[in-house]
Amino acid sequence: MASQDRDRMAAWSLQLAEAHQELRHRINEIRTGLGQRRLSDDALLTHCLAFCAALTTHHHGEDDGMFSQLLFARPDLAATVANLAEDHGMIAAILAQVSELADRAAGSGGDALEAIGGELDGLAAIMESHFGYEERTISEALDEGVADTGWSADVFRFGMP
């Protein structure tokens, strides 16, 4: 294996932590914006929906690519990966609720925006726990070498160039 490939694989855990940090930053900006109403309601909803899409893309990239490659290299992590995938299901349900609330808030604002804020507060707590667990349990295995079958764009950059 070429040195450059080893260096890139050794950086998977760092890139994962950076992606998680970016998602934390995005949700915190939205939560702050909702609390301070620094942006128009429409702008807040747009940011909220973009965040939901980014987190969904990140988790689909993990579920549909990174985890399968990780299990190929490290079948002993099956229980850990199952726990992470279960978290993804729970987070997806919250994101669906947030999207539904955002649709309702598009015309009404007020109470719907407060409800979104409550959902995002809970989501932020779950994300923090999930990200910490993920980084603690799979980082070493990622750095040992996991083939990139195209999943890295969604996991690390949420499908953005």
Strand ranges inside 24-154, DSSP E: none
> How far is 106 from 125, CA to CA, in rounded Å?
25
Q: HSE on the CB side for 147, CA within 13 Å?
A: 6
- For 109-127, what is each residue's pLDDT tens digit? 567 788 899 999 999 999 9
Burial zone of 21 (CB within 10 Å; 0-12 exposed, 13-18 middle, 19+ buried): exposed
- For 51-107, what is each residue's pLDDT tens digit? 999 999 999 999 999 999 999 999 999 999 999 999 999 999 999 999 988 888 776
CATH code for the domain of 28: 1.20.120.520
Rg of the chain over Cα atoms, rounded to whole angstroms, equals: 17
Q: Which domain holds residue 88?
A: 3-157
Total domain count for the chain?
1
Q: How confident is the model at residue 159 (pLDDT cuts 50, 70, 90)?
A: low
Angle, helices 12-36 vs 41-61, to 10°: value is: 160
- For 18-27, what is each residue's pLDDT tens digit? 999 999 999 9
The whole-model pTM stands at 0.89
